[in-house]
Amino acid sequence: MKILYVCHRFPYPPEHRGKIRPFNMIRHLSEQGHQLYVASLARNQAEANAGEGINAFCQHYYAAVVKEPVQIARMLLRLPLLTPSSMGYFYSHKLHWHIQGLLKAHKFDLIIVHGAFMAQYVSRVTDIPKLLDFGDMDSHKWLAYRAFKSLPLNLGYWLEGRKMLRAEKRLAQRFDICSCTTKAELATLQSYDTSVPTAWFPNGVDTNYFSPGTASYQPHSISFLGRMNYPPNQEAILQFCRRVLPLIREQIPDLTFYIVGAEPSAAIRALANLPGIIVTGAVADVRPYIINTAAMVAPLNIARGTQNKILEAMAMGVPVVCSNQAAGGIDAIANQHFLIANSPAEYVTALVKLMRNPGYRQQLAEAGRQRMLTHHQWHLSMQQLDSIMQQCINLHQEKQLTQREIQI
Protein backbone atom coordinates (compact mmCIF):
# COMPACT_ATOMS: atom_id res chain seq x y z
CA MET A 1 0.00 0.00 0.00
CA LYS A 2 0.95 3.63 -0.46
CA ILE A 3 0.59 5.30 2.96
CA LEU A 4 0.78 8.95 4.04
CA TYR A 5 2.08 9.14 7.62
CA VAL A 6 1.77 12.44 9.52
CA CYS A 7 3.21 12.97 13.02
CA HIS A 8 4.01 15.90 15.31
CA ARG A 9 7.56 14.92 16.35
CA PHE A 10 9.94 14.05 13.55
CA PRO A 11 10.31 10.32 14.14
CA TYR A 12 14.05 9.94 13.78
CA PRO A 13 16.26 9.32 15.63
CA PRO A 14 13.84 7.54 18.02
CA GLU A 15 15.48 8.91 21.16
CA HIS A 16 12.55 9.84 23.33
CA ARG A 17 8.88 9.26 23.99
CA GLY A 18 7.30 11.37 21.27
CA LYS A 19 9.36 9.71 18.54
CA ILE A 20 9.57 6.06 19.61
CA ARG A 21 6.01 4.98 18.76
CA PRO A 22 5.81 6.63 15.31
CA PHE A 23 9.28 5.37 14.36
CA ASN A 24 8.39 1.78 15.20
CA MET A 25 5.17 2.08 13.23
CA ILE A 26 7.06 3.43 10.22
CA ARG A 27 9.78 0.80 10.47
CA HIS A 28 7.22 -2.00 10.67
CA LEU A 29 5.20 -0.72 7.72
CA SER A 30 8.38 -0.39 5.68
CA GLU A 31 9.39 -3.96 6.51
CA GLN A 32 5.94 -5.09 5.37
CA GLY A 33 6.65 -3.64 1.94
CA HIS A 34 4.40 -0.56 2.13
CA GLN A 35 5.48 2.72 0.53
CA LEU A 36 5.66 5.37 3.25
CA TYR A 37 5.41 9.13 2.73
CA VAL A 38 6.32 10.75 6.05
CA ALA A 39 5.47 14.38 6.86
CA SER A 40 6.29 16.05 10.16
CA LEU A 41 7.77 19.08 11.92
CA ALA A 42 11.31 19.88 13.04
CA ARG A 43 12.03 22.51 15.71
CA ASN A 44 15.26 23.58 14.03
CA GLN A 45 17.52 22.70 11.13
CA ALA A 46 19.71 20.51 13.34
CA GLU A 47 16.71 18.32 14.17
CA ALA A 48 15.80 18.13 10.49
CA ASN A 49 19.35 17.11 9.59
CA ALA A 50 19.41 14.46 12.34
CA GLY A 51 16.18 13.05 10.94
CA GLU A 52 17.69 12.14 7.58
CA GLY A 53 18.11 8.56 8.79
CA ILE A 54 14.37 8.02 8.34
CA ASN A 55 15.07 7.89 4.60
CA ALA A 56 15.99 4.21 4.95
CA PHE A 57 12.42 3.41 6.04
CA CYS A 58 10.30 5.42 3.62
CA GLN A 59 9.76 6.40 0.01
CA HIS A 60 9.71 10.10 0.82
CA TYR A 61 9.95 12.31 3.90
CA TYR A 62 9.53 15.97 4.62
CA ALA A 63 10.40 17.92 7.77
CA ALA A 64 8.91 21.41 7.94
CA VAL A 65 11.36 23.46 9.99
CA VAL A 66 9.52 25.84 12.31
CA LYS A 67 10.74 28.66 14.54
CA GLU A 68 9.77 28.76 18.20
CA PRO A 69 8.75 32.48 18.31
CA VAL A 70 6.43 31.98 15.33
CA GLN A 71 4.81 28.89 16.84
CA ILE A 72 4.28 30.66 20.18
CA ALA A 73 2.68 33.57 18.32
CA ARG A 74 0.32 31.10 16.65
CA MET A 75 -0.60 29.77 20.09
CA LEU A 76 -1.33 33.26 21.43
CA LEU A 77 -3.51 34.14 18.44
CA ARG A 78 -5.78 31.20 19.32
CA LEU A 79 -6.27 32.17 22.96
CA PRO A 80 -9.62 33.94 22.31
CA LEU A 81 -10.78 31.23 19.88
CA LEU A 82 -12.37 27.82 20.39
CA THR A 83 -9.37 26.26 18.61
CA PRO A 84 -6.82 24.95 21.13
CA SER A 85 -3.66 27.03 21.36
CA SER A 86 -1.57 23.87 21.15
CA MET A 87 -3.06 23.20 17.70
CA GLY A 88 -1.53 26.50 16.66
CA TYR A 89 1.85 25.48 18.03
CA PHE A 90 1.88 22.42 15.75
CA TYR A 91 0.65 24.23 12.65
CA SER A 92 2.93 25.10 9.74
CA HIS A 93 1.90 26.61 6.41
CA LYS A 94 4.85 24.83 4.79
CA LEU A 95 3.73 21.46 6.12
CA HIS A 96 0.11 22.14 5.14
CA TRP A 97 0.98 22.89 1.53
CA HIS A 98 3.43 20.02 1.30
CA ILE A 99 0.77 17.57 2.45
CA GLN A 100 -1.74 19.06 0.02
CA GLY A 101 0.81 18.60 -2.75
CA LEU A 102 1.34 14.95 -1.81
CA LEU A 103 -2.41 14.33 -1.81
CA LYS A 104 -2.71 15.79 -5.32
CA ALA A 105 0.33 13.96 -6.69
CA HIS A 106 -0.33 10.49 -5.25
CA LYS A 107 -3.21 8.10 -4.85
CA PHE A 108 -2.81 6.99 -1.24
CA ASP A 109 -4.41 3.81 0.04
CA LEU A 110 -4.32 4.93 3.67
CA ILE A 111 -3.55 7.95 5.83
CA ILE A 112 -2.18 7.46 9.34
CA VAL A 113 -1.97 10.42 11.71
CA HIS A 114 -0.12 10.16 15.00
CA GLY A 115 -1.22 12.78 17.54
CA ALA A 116 -4.41 14.81 17.68
CA PHE A 117 -2.51 18.02 16.90
CA MET A 118 -1.75 16.77 13.40
CA ALA A 119 -5.27 15.68 12.47
CA GLN A 120 -5.95 19.25 11.32
CA TYR A 121 -3.80 18.69 8.21
CA VAL A 122 -6.01 15.94 6.74
CA SER A 123 -9.31 16.39 8.57
CA ARG A 124 -11.16 17.36 5.37
CA VAL A 125 -9.93 14.41 3.30
CA THR A 126 -12.87 12.06 2.71
CA ASP A 127 -11.85 9.81 -0.17
CA ILE A 128 -9.01 7.93 1.58
CA PRO A 129 -9.23 5.60 4.63
CA LYS A 130 -7.90 7.46 7.68
CA LEU A 131 -6.58 6.21 11.01
CA LEU A 132 -6.02 8.66 13.86
CA ASP A 133 -3.64 7.28 16.48
CA PHE A 134 -4.13 9.64 19.43
CA GLY A 135 -1.40 7.94 21.43
CA ASP A 136 -2.33 9.77 24.63
CA MET A 137 -5.47 11.83 25.12
CA ASP A 138 -3.81 15.23 25.38
CA SER A 139 -6.86 17.06 26.70
CA HIS A 140 -6.74 15.08 29.93
CA LYS A 141 -3.05 15.84 30.29
CA TRP A 142 -3.78 19.59 30.19
CA LEU A 143 -6.59 19.16 32.71
CA ALA A 144 -4.29 17.17 35.01
CA TYR A 145 -1.63 19.91 34.86
CA ARG A 146 -4.18 22.31 36.29
CA ALA A 147 -4.01 20.70 39.74
CA PHE A 148 -0.30 21.51 40.00
CA LYS A 149 -0.49 25.15 38.92
CA SER A 150 -1.53 28.24 40.84
CA LEU A 151 -3.72 31.13 39.68
CA PRO A 152 -3.95 32.32 36.95
CA LEU A 153 -1.99 29.56 35.19
CA ASN A 154 -4.33 26.83 36.38
CA LEU A 155 -7.24 28.56 34.61
CA GLY A 156 -5.21 28.64 31.41
CA TYR A 157 -4.51 24.91 31.65
CA TRP A 158 -8.19 24.22 32.34
CA LEU A 159 -9.28 26.31 29.35
CA GLU A 160 -6.78 24.63 27.03
CA GLY A 161 -7.84 21.21 28.30
CA ARG A 162 -11.52 21.92 27.64
CA LYS A 163 -10.76 23.30 24.17
CA MET A 164 -8.58 20.29 23.39
CA LEU A 165 -11.31 17.91 24.60
CA ARG A 166 -13.77 19.55 22.22
CA ALA A 167 -11.25 19.31 19.36
CA GLU A 168 -10.50 15.64 20.04
CA LYS A 169 -14.18 14.75 19.86
CA ARG A 170 -14.68 16.75 16.67
CA LEU A 171 -11.58 15.42 14.91
CA ALA A 172 -12.28 11.81 15.87
CA GLN A 173 -15.52 11.98 13.89
CA ARG A 174 -13.57 12.81 10.72
CA PHE A 175 -11.61 9.55 10.77
CA ASP A 176 -12.64 5.99 10.05
CA ILE A 177 -11.09 4.60 13.24
CA CYS A 178 -9.19 6.02 16.22
CA SER A 179 -6.57 4.29 18.35
CA CYS A 180 -4.47 4.93 21.46
CA THR A 181 -1.71 3.34 23.54
CA THR A 182 -3.40 1.76 26.58
CA LYS A 183 -6.66 0.33 27.86
CA ALA A 184 -6.99 3.33 30.17
CA GLU A 185 -6.65 5.76 27.26
CA LEU A 186 -9.12 3.64 25.28
CA ALA A 187 -11.69 4.01 28.05
CA THR A 188 -11.24 7.79 27.88
CA LEU A 189 -11.58 7.77 24.09
CA GLN A 190 -14.71 5.62 24.23
CA SER A 191 -16.24 7.97 26.81
CA TYR A 192 -16.37 10.63 24.05
CA ASP A 193 -19.25 8.62 22.54
CA THR A 194 -18.46 9.74 18.98
CA SER A 195 -19.76 6.50 17.37
CA VAL A 196 -16.38 6.18 15.61
CA PRO A 197 -14.79 2.70 16.07
CA THR A 198 -11.87 2.63 18.50
CA ALA A 199 -8.91 0.35 19.21
CA TRP A 200 -5.61 0.26 21.06
CA PHE A 201 -2.16 -1.20 20.57
CA PRO A 202 0.57 -0.90 23.20
CA ASN A 203 4.01 0.59 23.00
CA GLY A 204 6.78 -1.95 22.86
CA VAL A 205 10.34 -2.09 24.06
CA ASP A 206 13.49 -3.36 22.38
CA THR A 207 14.18 -6.27 24.72
CA ASN A 208 17.46 -7.09 22.95
CA TYR A 209 18.87 -3.62 23.53
CA PHE A 210 17.32 -3.21 26.98
CA SER A 211 18.41 -6.49 28.51
CA PRO A 212 19.65 -7.48 32.00
CA GLY A 213 23.28 -6.85 32.88
CA THR A 214 25.76 -9.46 33.96
CA ALA A 215 27.67 -7.42 36.55
CA SER A 216 26.56 -7.01 40.16
CA TYR A 217 24.43 -3.98 41.04
CA GLN A 218 24.80 -1.38 43.77
CA PRO A 219 22.39 -2.67 46.44
CA HIS A 220 21.80 0.64 48.24
CA SER A 221 20.86 2.63 45.17
CA ILE A 222 17.77 3.63 43.20
CA SER A 223 17.29 5.50 39.94
CA PHE A 224 14.94 7.62 37.88
CA LEU A 225 15.00 7.83 34.08
CA GLY A 226 13.36 10.56 32.01
CA ARG A 227 13.90 13.86 30.23
CA MET A 228 14.37 16.43 32.96
CA ASN A 229 13.02 19.39 31.00
CA TYR A 230 9.57 17.76 31.14
CA PRO A 231 7.45 19.38 33.90
CA PRO A 232 5.75 16.16 35.16
CA ASN A 233 9.19 14.55 35.61
CA GLN A 234 10.51 17.63 37.40
CA GLU A 235 7.52 17.83 39.74
CA ALA A 236 7.70 14.12 40.53
CA ILE A 237 11.41 14.13 41.39
CA LEU A 238 11.30 17.32 43.44
CA GLN A 239 8.43 15.90 45.49
CA PHE A 240 10.18 12.53 45.83
CA CYS A 241 13.40 14.10 47.06
CA ARG A 242 11.51 16.30 49.51
CA ARG A 243 9.04 13.79 50.93
CA VAL A 244 10.40 10.27 50.39
CA LEU A 245 14.18 10.29 50.22
CA PRO A 246 14.73 11.56 53.80
CA LEU A 247 12.55 8.72 55.13
CA ILE A 248 14.54 6.12 53.20
CA ARG A 249 17.81 7.58 54.51
CA GLU A 250 16.63 6.96 58.06
CA GLN A 251 16.90 3.24 57.28
CA ILE A 252 19.60 3.28 54.59
CA PRO A 253 21.94 6.20 55.29
CA ASP A 254 24.32 5.43 52.41
CA LEU A 255 21.56 5.50 49.75
CA THR A 256 22.52 6.81 46.29
CA PHE A 257 19.83 8.22 44.00
CA TYR A 258 20.65 8.57 40.29
CA ILE A 259 18.55 11.06 38.32
CA VAL A 260 19.25 10.15 34.70
CA GLY A 261 17.94 12.37 31.93
CA ALA A 262 18.79 15.16 29.53
CA GLU A 263 18.30 18.89 30.09
CA PRO A 264 17.76 19.04 33.87
CA SER A 265 16.29 22.33 35.05
CA ALA A 266 18.11 24.52 37.57
CA ALA A 267 15.95 23.11 40.38
CA ILE A 268 16.85 19.54 39.39
CA ARG A 269 20.56 20.37 39.05
CA ALA A 270 20.47 21.86 42.54
CA LEU A 271 19.47 18.45 43.94
CA ALA A 272 23.03 17.29 43.25
CA ASN A 273 24.14 19.46 46.18
CA LEU A 274 22.32 17.08 48.53
CA PRO A 275 24.16 14.01 49.88
CA GLY A 276 23.86 10.88 47.77
CA ILE A 277 22.00 12.47 44.81
CA ILE A 278 23.65 12.28 41.39
CA VAL A 279 22.16 14.28 38.51
CA THR A 280 23.73 12.97 35.32
CA GLY A 281 22.25 15.20 32.64
CA ALA A 282 22.43 13.73 29.13
CA VAL A 283 24.38 10.48 28.90
CA ALA A 284 25.47 8.45 25.87
CA ASP A 285 23.87 5.28 27.24
CA VAL A 286 21.33 5.17 30.07
CA ARG A 287 21.51 1.42 30.55
CA PRO A 288 24.57 1.17 32.86
CA TYR A 289 23.07 3.74 35.24
CA ILE A 290 19.74 1.94 35.59
CA ILE A 291 21.06 -1.63 35.62
CA ASN A 292 23.48 -0.66 38.40
CA THR A 293 20.63 0.13 40.81
CA ALA A 294 18.40 -1.98 43.02
CA ALA A 295 15.21 -0.38 41.68
CA MET A 296 13.86 2.38 39.49
CA VAL A 297 11.16 4.77 40.68
CA ALA A 298 8.48 6.47 38.59
CA PRO A 299 6.64 8.60 41.18
CA LEU A 300 4.68 10.57 38.59
CA ASN A 301 1.59 12.50 39.64
CA ILE A 302 0.81 13.42 36.02
CA ALA A 303 1.05 10.57 33.53
CA ARG A 304 -0.92 9.63 30.45
CA GLY A 305 -0.26 6.74 28.09
CA THR A 306 2.76 4.49 28.41
CA GLN A 307 5.87 5.50 30.31
CA ASN A 308 8.58 4.01 28.11
CA LYS A 309 11.13 4.36 30.89
CA ILE A 310 9.16 1.81 32.93
CA LEU A 311 9.13 -0.69 30.07
CA GLU A 312 12.87 -0.19 29.55
CA ALA A 313 13.71 -0.72 33.23
CA MET A 314 11.58 -3.87 33.44
CA ALA A 315 13.16 -5.20 30.24
CA MET A 316 16.58 -4.67 31.86
CA GLY A 317 15.52 -6.70 34.87
CA VAL A 318 15.35 -3.71 37.20
CA PRO A 319 12.30 -3.70 39.51
CA VAL A 320 10.04 -0.68 39.18
CA VAL A 321 8.13 1.13 41.92
CA CYS A 322 5.66 3.60 40.46
CA SER A 323 2.51 5.58 41.13
CA ASN A 324 -0.97 4.51 40.08
CA GLN A 325 -0.88 7.19 37.39
CA ALA A 326 2.36 5.88 35.88
CA ALA A 327 1.15 2.28 36.06
CA GLY A 328 -1.79 2.90 33.75
CA GLY A 329 0.26 2.31 30.62
CA ILE A 330 1.86 -0.98 31.66
CA ASP A 331 0.27 -4.19 30.44
CA ALA A 332 1.37 -6.04 33.58
CA ILE A 333 0.06 -7.01 37.03
CA ALA A 334 0.84 -4.84 40.05
CA ASN A 335 2.73 -6.57 42.87
CA GLN A 336 3.58 -9.42 40.51
CA HIS A 337 5.57 -7.71 37.77
CA PHE A 338 6.09 -4.28 39.37
CA LEU A 339 5.15 -2.44 42.57
CA ILE A 340 2.75 0.44 43.14
CA ALA A 341 3.21 3.13 45.78
CA ASN A 342 1.03 6.19 46.32
CA SER A 343 2.33 7.62 49.58
CA PRO A 344 5.79 8.29 51.04
CA ALA A 345 5.37 5.37 53.45
CA GLU A 346 4.50 2.97 50.61
CA TYR A 347 7.55 4.05 48.58
CA VAL A 348 9.79 3.60 51.61
CA THR A 349 8.43 0.12 52.36
CA ALA A 350 8.78 -1.09 48.76
CA LEU A 351 12.21 0.40 48.07
CA VAL A 352 13.81 -0.59 51.37
CA LYS A 353 12.60 -4.17 50.88
CA LEU A 354 14.10 -4.30 47.37
CA MET A 355 17.40 -2.89 48.58
CA ARG A 356 17.68 -5.19 51.58
CA ASN A 357 16.31 -8.42 50.09
CA PRO A 358 18.28 -9.56 46.99
CA GLY A 359 16.12 -12.68 46.56
CA TYR A 360 12.92 -10.63 46.44
CA ARG A 361 14.53 -8.18 44.01
CA GLN A 362 15.59 -11.03 41.72
CA GLN A 363 12.09 -12.52 41.77
CA LEU A 364 10.49 -9.22 40.76
CA ALA A 365 13.22 -8.52 38.20
CA GLU A 366 12.68 -11.84 36.41
CA ALA A 367 8.89 -11.49 36.46
CA GLY A 368 9.07 -7.97 35.01
CA ARG A 369 11.49 -8.99 32.27
CA GLN A 370 9.33 -11.96 31.29
CA ARG A 371 6.23 -9.77 31.09
CA MET A 372 8.00 -7.44 28.68
CA LEU A 373 8.90 -10.43 26.50
CA THR A 374 5.28 -11.58 26.31
CA HIS A 375 3.26 -8.34 26.36
CA HIS A 376 5.40 -5.39 25.25
CA GLN A 377 7.30 -6.61 22.19
CA TRP A 378 7.05 -4.25 19.21
CA HIS A 379 6.40 -7.04 16.71
CA LEU A 380 3.37 -8.19 18.73
CA SER A 381 2.07 -4.64 18.97
CA MET A 382 2.53 -4.13 15.24
CA GLN A 383 0.41 -7.20 14.52
CA GLN A 384 -2.40 -5.36 16.28
CA LEU A 385 -1.68 -2.28 14.16
CA ASP A 386 -1.97 -4.38 10.99
CA SER A 387 -5.39 -5.56 12.10
CA ILE A 388 -6.51 -2.00 12.91
CA MET A 389 -5.34 -0.76 9.51
CA GLN A 390 -7.34 -3.45 7.73
CA GLN A 391 -10.37 -2.60 9.85
CA CYS A 392 -9.93 1.05 8.90
CA ILE A 393 -9.92 0.21 5.19
CA ASN A 394 -12.95 -2.07 5.52
CA LEU A 395 -14.90 0.57 7.45
CA HIS A 396 -14.10 3.22 4.86
CA GLN A 397 -15.24 0.97 2.02
CA GLU A 398 -18.48 0.18 3.85
CA LYS A 399 -19.06 3.87 4.46
CA GLN A 400 -18.54 4.70 0.78
CA LEU A 401 -20.85 1.86 -0.29
CA THR A 402 -23.57 3.11 2.04
CA GLN A 403 -23.23 6.65 0.68
CA ARG A 404 -23.55 5.41 -2.90
CA GLU A 405 -26.67 3.43 -2.00
CA ILE A 406 -28.21 6.51 -0.42
CA GLN A 407 -27.48 8.55 -3.55
CA ILE A 408 -29.13 5.90 -5.72
- What single string gives the DSSP state of each residue in 43-110? SSHHHHHHGGGGGGG-SEEEEEE--HHHHHHHHHHTTTSSS-HHHHHT--HHHHHHHHHHHHH---SE
Instruction: Tell me: do 125 and 262 sit in the same domain.
Output: no
pLDDT tens digits for range 10-53:
999 998 778 999 999 999 999 999 999 999 999 999 999 999 99
- Longest CA span, the chain: 80
Stretch (H or E) spanning 134:
strand 130-135
Instruction: Tell me: do 139 and 277 sit in the same domain.
Output: no
- Residue 54 in domain: yes
Instruction: Tell me: do 274 and 298 sit in the same domain.
Output: yes
Instruction: Tell me: do 48 and 190 sit in the same domain.
Output: yes
- The parts of the chain modelled with pLDDT lower than 50 are none
Instruction: Tell me: do 339 and 227 sit in the same domain.
Output: yes
In the three-class reduction of DSSP (H, G, I as helix; E, B as strand; rest coil), residue 132 is classed as strand
Please tell me the predicted confidence (pLDDT) of residue 149: 75
Strand locations in 163-260, DSSP E?
177-180, 198-200, 218-225, 256-260
Asked if 281 contacts 262 with a C-beta cutoff of 8 angstroms, the reply is yes
Please tell me the predicted confidence (pLDDT) of residue 231: 85
- Residue 209 in domain: no
Please tell me the predicted confidence (pLDDT) of residue 297: 98
- Residue 332 in domain: yes
- Residue 212 in domain: no
Length of the chain: 408
Indicate which CATH number applies to the domain containing 137: 3.40.50.2000
The per-residue DSSP string of 279-323 comes to EEES-S-SHHHHHTEEEEEE--SS--S--HHHHHHHHTT--EEE-
Give the count of domains, the chain: 2
221 bridge partner residues: 256
Nearest to 211 by CA among 336, 313, 292, 307: 313
- Residue 94 in domain: yes
Q: What is the separation, in whole angstroms, between the first and last Cα of the chain?
A: 30
Asked if 261 contacts 289 with a C-beta cutoff of 8 angstroms, the reply is no
pLDDT tens digits for range 300-310:
988 776 788 99
| pTM strictly above 0.75 | yes
Instruction: Tell me: do 177 and 223 sit in the same domain.
Output: no
Q: What is the C-alpha to C-alpha distance for residues 49 and 90, in angstroms, rounded to an integer?
A: 19
